[in-house]
Amino acid sequence: MAKDSVNPGHGSRYGRYTGGPDPLAPPVDLAEALDAIGQDVMAGYSPERAMQEFLRRGGRDQRGADDLARRVAERRQEILSQHNLDGTLREVKELLDKAVLAERGQLARDITMDDDDRTFREMQLDDLPASTASAVSELSSYDWQSAEARAAYEEIKDLLGRELLDQRFQGMKEAMAGATDEDRQRISQMLSDLNEMLEANARGEHTPEQFEKFMDEHGDFFPENPQDIDELLDAMAKRAAAAQRMMSSMTPEQRQELMELSAQAFGSPELMDQLSRLDGNLQDARPGEDWGGSEQFEGSEGLGLGDGTGALQDLADLDALSEQLSQSYDGSRMDDVDLDALSRQLGEDAAVDARALAELERALRQSGYLKRTSDGELRLSPQAMRQLGKALLKDVARRMSGRQGARDMRQAGAAGDRTGGSRPWEFGDTEPWDVTGSITNAVLREAGSREDVETTRAGVRLQMDDIEVLETEARTQAAVALLVDTSFSMAMDGRWVPMKRTALALHHLIGSRFRGDALQLIGFGRYAETMPIEHLTALDAMWDKGTNLHHALLLANRHFRKHPNAQPVLLVVTDGEPTAHLEPDGEVWFSYPPHPVTIAKTVKELDNTGRLGAQTTFFRLGEDPGLARFIDQMARRVDGTVVAPELDDLGAAVVGSYLGSRRPGGSYRDQFGDWTGGRGFWAG
């Protein structure tokens, strides 16, 4: 808010703040944007494109660039569908009809006029050409008998002069209403001086002093208040180019009529000469403007030359805004959007939306969530990965339980690592007290009570509800291998993004709550490979045929052997039977349907996993009966578990299985009951 004025008797008045972005506006919330960008990145978009897509769509409470572009297109169509460009011709015809009608009446009433003279004049009026321009030209030498008719005819010339000037100098039509001969002479002098200055500039002879002198003498004709000749040229060339496009948008008959009428402007052909000279100078100075375009107006509301030119300028503004909002050119930014033009065309609310999008984009680029690699590409930063993983883990927690935090381990003791969080004490808890939090709760409670001051001075009294305990983590260490199927069927059947979401949620959980655990992410398609989380989340859909679970198990067992003192946990997400295995020479053998050798090698490596003591869970995606039989048999060999969740519940199923594997003597199923997720089921 900005103070508007001060009235000593009635206090201050305040109005809308107009000094830029609202300084009291809440900071930009990046959480929603980052989540949406992360989803698109996992779907295969580059971070740059993902950010642009979010800015185009907008958020829950933020209109996006697409919505603004739609309103721009609607405004453009509204201008074209409501108007046409014959407004000046209509006005001229109405004035001409008024003049002729008044003259006929005068001839009929004047009893002193010679009959032959009356008959001759009536014949002149009867024989006027059908063309308005030709009729106006023919009457230029007519000796009007009616004062009213003469005034109407003179108004035609005045209207044409004002409209022609309004085409080049916005607002001139109203400013020149009732102009005197002295005013017209001043206009003529301004045009002459302007043309001389522009021509001197084209020759390289212009000086700032010449511009200052010109503005001192004629500055009232330029409300834009240009500060130098370049600003003057920019403003005038845009207007003049719009005037040219307006003429091109007329029908050939309309254009011819106006060209003939132009000679009657102010009754001075010199005006048209000066304006034509000005148009040439502007076109030479700014050839890049659109001097040859046209539009198809289809409405019934006629526009005069000045208003029509303004409409063409509006259309040019709207076209530029449409391009800016499309963000389809290299290096595009929401900062490119002309907020002044957007406010003029759509209102201040649209400019506020565009400014908010620009601030959001700027905040995303400056927040550290997006970073440039050495090859110049934009990537999600580790900070962004943590934030996205946190959001995904919250979603997993909501699916796992009706109350947030059900996923947390409640084991505690001296051997536990503190998580940094605290919670209210419950019966049976043995965690250390959060002394600061507990005392703070007591102080706040007593401060809100109605006890007298003396009692309060006696000290702070703790109650059971005030006590909070520090959350700790058990030191049970796990070596976790998450094997995710990256074969083409995962992408083809829409399982690519849920797979990545699951991996990122588990990665964040282990990285933030169970830092002692060692997580290995392994993707397996035709080959298997270990992947950092940044690689997996940015991985494009793989279209190579092959599901090489054998290779993935080899890598998982190598991971388990590197951590001999940790509990091995194997989590396998797949939607197909093994169709490939790794040969001793490192080459891949592929066969579909699955070859018995591939099955044998895969089963053998799974047996090695079982001998290492791994707690194994298979997450079966899809309804393939052959896959179901194979997975069930594999799980029985290693006393493992099969989960068949639907895609939305995959993350909760994997995280739940991991948490269950960390509980001594029991699985997640034992601790939390059968996992159904509303739709999935346990098997095996």
Across 451-457, average pLDDT: 52
CB 261 within 8 A of CB 134: no
Q: Is 662 exposed, middle or buried (0-12, 13-18, 19+ CB in 10 A)?
A: buried
CB 509 within 8 A of CB 516: no
Q: Given pLDDT bands bounded at 50, 70 and 90, which one contains residue 474? A: low
Sign of the C-alpha dihedral computed for residues 79, 83, 89 and 95 taken in this order: negative
pLDDT top residue among 208 and 35: 208
What DSSP element (H or E) covers 420?
A: strand 417-424
- Output the pLDDT for position 17: 54
- Output the pLDDT for position 482: 95
Integer Cα distance of 642 and 684 in angstroms: 6
- Percent of the chain surpassing pLDDT 70: 85
Domain 478-683 is classified in which CATH homologous superfamily?
A: von Willebrand factor, type A domain (3.40.50.410)
Query: pLDDT tens for residues 611-661?
Result: 999 999 999 998 888 899 999 999 999 999 999 888 888 888 888 888 877
Across 463-480, average pLDDT: 78
- Output the pLDDT for position 43: 72
Strands 641-643 and 567-574: unpaired
Query: pLDDT tens for residues 417-450?
Result: 566 678 887 755 656 788 888 888 888 888 766 5
One-character DSSP codes across 583-619 = -TTSPEEE-SSPPHHHHHHHHHHHHHHHHTT-EEEEE
Across 14-25, average pLDDT: 54
Structure tokens at 545: 């045929």
Across 463-481, average pLDDT: 79
- Output the pLDDT for position 479: 94
Query: pLDDT tens for residues 187-242?
Result: 889 999 999 999 999 999 989 999 999 999 998 888 888 999 999 999 999 999 99
Q: Given pLDDT bands bounded at 50, 70 and 90, which one contains residue 457? A: low
- Output the pLDDT for position 679: 36
> Which residue blocks in 382-450 are alpha helix, DSSP H?
382-400, 435-447
Q: Given pLDDT bands bounded at 50, 70 and 90, which one contains residue 540? A: confident
Across the chain, what does the average pLDDT equal?
82
- Output the pLDDT for position 537: 82
pLDDT at 575 over 60: yes
pLDDT at 299 over 60: yes
- Output the pLDDT for position 417: 57
- Output the pLDDT for position 429: 62
- Output the pLDDT for position 1: 43
Across 497-508, average pLDDT: 87
* Beta strands, E only, 315-401: 370-372, 378-380
pLDDT at 668 over 50: no
- How many other β-carbons are positioned within 10 Å of the β-carbon of residue 224? 12
Query: pLDDT tens for residues 74-89?
Result: 999 999 999 888 889 9
CB 633 within 8 A of CB 665: no
CB 332 within 8 A of CB 109: no
- Output the pLDDT for position 62: 85
DSSP 509: H
What DSSP element (H or E) covers 180?
A: none
Across 288-304, average pLDDT: 88
One-character DSSP codes across 612-678 = TT-EEEEEE-S--HHHHHHHHHHHHHTT-EEE---GGGHHHHHHHHHHHHTSTT--HHHHH----TT
pLDDT at 3 over 50: no
- Output the pLDDT for position 413: 33
Helices 305-326 and 65-82, packing angle to 10 deg: 160
With a CB cutoff of 8 Å and minimum separation 6, the contacts of 443 are 460
- Output the pLDDT for position 683: 36
In the block, which residue shows the tokens 């991996």? Answer: 503
- Output the pLDDT for position 374: 66
Q: Given pLDDT bands bounded at 50, 70 and 90, which one contains residue 681? A: very low
Across 101-122, average pLDDT: 90
- Output the pLDDT for position 14: 57
Farthest CA pair distance, the chain:
130
Strands 518-524 and 478-485: parallel
Judged by DSSP in three states, 553 sits in helix
CB 672 within 8 A of CB 520: no
Q: Domain extents for the chain?
A: 28-83+318-380, 86-296, 413-473, 478-683
Integer Cα distance of 649 and 495 in angstroms: 12
pLDDT top residue among 664 and 313: 313
CB 354 within 8 A of CB 336: no
Report how far apart, in Å, the C-alpha atoms of 567 and of each of 394, 514, 559, 634 are. Answer: 26, 13, 11, 20
Nearest to 72 by CA among 458, 460, 368, 345: 345
CB 91 within 8 A of CB 308: no
Do you know the residue count of the chain? 684
- Output the pLDDT for position 476: 66
